[in-house]
Amino acid sequence: MLRTTTFRVALLYLGLFLASVLVILGMIYWFTAGFIERQTDETIAAEIAGLREQYRQRRLPGLVEVVNARSATPRTSTLYLVTTPTYTPLAGNLSAWPDAQPDPEGWITFEIEDAPVNNDGSRHDARAVVFTLPGGYHLLVGRDTRERQQFQERVLNALAWALLLTVGLGAAGGVLISRNVMHRIDAINRTTRQIMSGALQERMTVQGNGDELDQLAANLNAMLDQIEHLMVGMRQVSDSVAHDLRTPLTRLRSRLEITLVEAGTEDEYRAAIQDAIGEADRLLGIFSALLSIAEAEAGTLQRSFQQVPLADLARQMADLYEPAAEEAGLGFESDIRAEPIVLGNQQLLAQAIANLLDNALKYAPEGGRVTLTVTGIGEGRGPCVSIADSGPGIPAEQRESVLRRFVRLESSRSSPGNGLGLSLVDAVARLHGARLEMDDNHPGLIVAIVFPRITPG
C-alpha cells in the first residue's frame, strides 16, 4: 500500500494539512503569549504609575512605606525594590539589585531565586522596569514570570498533543481512504483480468454514489460494451461475408469457367464479361459499404467534422433522386421546414441520406410516394432529417435486427441489395452523436436521423 498513488496523495494532503495546522497553532501560540506578555507589562506599568504618584505626594519615605506594605502582601507575584544610590536595599521583596543591563526603555529580564510565590529554591525569569529617582535612588518594579512560563508550557504541550493527534488521525484517515480506494481499484483490476482471460461478459461494479471511480467504471463498462458490440459485429460480418460472398464468387467463377471451356461467339464472350463485371461491381459495393461502416464506427473521421448545412444537403439529394423517383412512377416531395447547421462529415451524411432514399425508392410500390423532410430544433429533440415512403414498412419487433450487417427481411430477399444500407446509416448516425428512429407511416416506414440539440452557432 505504501507504493500506491492513493497513499502518496493522502500523505501529500496530510503534509499540506499539517503545514496549515502548524501555521494556525503557531498563530494561536503567538497571540496567546503576546497577550500574556502585554498583560504583564500593563500590570507593571500600572504599579509604576501608582508608585510615582506616591513618590510625588510623600517623597522617598512614603515610597518606602508603600513598597514595604505591598511587598508584605502574601503570594504576590509583583517584585519591588528601592535602593540607595549605591544599590543598598531600602525596601522591597528582592534581596539584591539584579545584575542585568536595561534596554533603552528601562526593561530588564533576570533570574530570581526564592520566589515570593514558591520559595522552593528554583531559579526562573522575572521581568521588570528600573529607573532612577531624584537624589540617585533606584526603583525596580517587575513581575515574576514563572506563572506565565508555566502557562506557555501548557499551551505548547496542548498544541504539541493537538499536532500529534492531527498526525495520527490524518495518517489513519489516509490509510483508511487508501484501503477503500485500493479495494475498489482491486475490484476493477480483478474484473479486467477476468476479461483478459476471456470472460468478455464481465463488467465493472458501479456502487451508484456517482464519484470518480463510479464514472471510471461506467466509462470502462461502456467501452467494453462497445468492444463487445464490435467483436460480435466482426463475427457476424465474417460469417455473413463468408455466406453472402461465396455465392456471387462461385457464380462468377462458374460463368468464367463455362465461357472459357465452351467456345462461343464474340457476343457471348462480351455478355459473359459484362456479367462478370456486374458481379465484381456488386462485390466491390459490399466491400465499400463495409469499409464505410468500419470508418464510421472507428470514430477517426470526427477530426474532419465541419459545419454542414443540413437543408442544403437535403436539397442536393432531392435534386439527385427526384428524377429516379419519377422514372420509377413514384411521387417525390421535399419538405424543408428549417435551415439547421450540424457538425459532421458531409460525405458520410450524404451517403446515409442516399441509402435511405435508395431503400425508399426500392420498396415503395408503383404510384407510391417518398417524402424527404428537414426540421430544426424542436421540443425535446434536435435537428432532424427523415425519409418517409409508402412501402411495406418494417415490423416494430424487427427494427433493431435490420440495423445489423447483412440482415435482410424475408420480404426483401428477392430484391437487389446486400443488407448493409441501414447498418451504414446507423453507424453514421452514432458517429455524429445522433440517433436513428423508425416509425410507421401508415402505410410504409419513416426513418429519421435526429441530431443532438447542441448545434454550431
Residue whose entry in the numeric block shows the C-alpha cell 530570581: 112
226 to 16, 109, 434: CA distances (angstroms)? 42, 80, 16
pLDDT of amino acid 387 = 93
The vertex-284 CA angle with 281 and 290, nearest 5°, equals 145
By the 8 A CB rule, do 339 and 376 touch?
yes
Q: With bands split at pLDDT 50, 70 and 90, how would you rate the model's confidence at 414?
A: very low
Residue whose entry in the numeric block shows the C-alpha cell 446515409: 352
Q: Nearest Cα to 308, choosing from 205, 426, 422, 431?
A: 431
Assign residue 208 a region (left: φ > 0; alpha: ψ between -120 and 50; beta: otherwise): left
- Hey, which bits of 122-226 come out as E strands? 123-132, 138-144
Distance CA 315, CA 318 (A): 5
By the 8 A CB rule, do 98 and 108 touch?
yes
pLDDT of amino acid 451 = 92
Average pLDDT over every residue of 303-327:
90
pLDDT of amino acid 413 = 44
Write down the CATH number for the domain with range 302-450.
3.30.565.10
319 to 209, 334, 359, 383, 441: CA distances (angstroms)? 53, 9, 17, 21, 23
Task: Beginning with the edge strand found earlier in the chain, give each strand of the sheet holding 89-92 in spatial order.
Answer: 89-92, 78-83, 138-144, 123-132, 107-113
Residues of the chain with CATH 3.30.565.10: 302-450
Note the pTM of the prediction, 2 decimals: 0.47
Q: With bands split at pLDDT 50, 70 and 90, how would you rate the model's confidence at 207?
A: confident
Distance CA 67, CA 60 (A): 10
Distance CA 44, CA 131 (A): 13
By the 8 A CB rule, do 310 and 340 touch?
yes
pLDDT at 383 over 60: yes
Q: Hey, which residues does 125 pair with through a beta bridge?
A: 111
- Hey, which bits of 133-245 come out as E strands? 138-144
pLDDT of amino acid 116 = 46
Percent of the chain whose predicted confidence (pLDDT) is above 70: 85
Q: With bands split at pLDDT 50, 70 and 90, how would you rate the model's confidence at 122?
A: low
Domain 212-298 has CATH 1.10.287: yes
Write down the CATH number for the domain with range 5-150.
3.30.450
Residues of the chain with CATH 1.10.287: 212-298
pLDDT of amino acid 154 = 82
Write the CB contacts of 365 (distance below 8 Å, at least 6 apart in sequence). 390, 391
Average pLDDT over every residue of 126-136:
85
Write the CB contacts of 113 (distance below 8 Å, at least 6 apart in sequence). 121, 122, 123
Alpha helices in 1-71 (DSSP H): 5-71
pLDDT of amino acid 2 = 62
Residues of the chain with CATH 3.30.450: 5-150
Percent of the chain whose predicted confidence (pLDDT) is above 90: 13
**For the packed helices 212-261 and 266-298, what is the interaxial angle rounded to 10 degrees?**
170
Distance CA 205, CA 199 (A): 15
pLDDT at 362 over 70: yes
Rounded-to-10 torsion of CA 270, 273, 278, 283? 180
Residue whose entry in the numeric block shows the C-alpha cell 501555521: 23
How is residue 73 written as a grid cell? 502582601
Distance CA 277, CA 314 (A): 32
Greatest mean pLDDT among 34-48, 231-245, 349-363, 397-411 lies in: 349-363
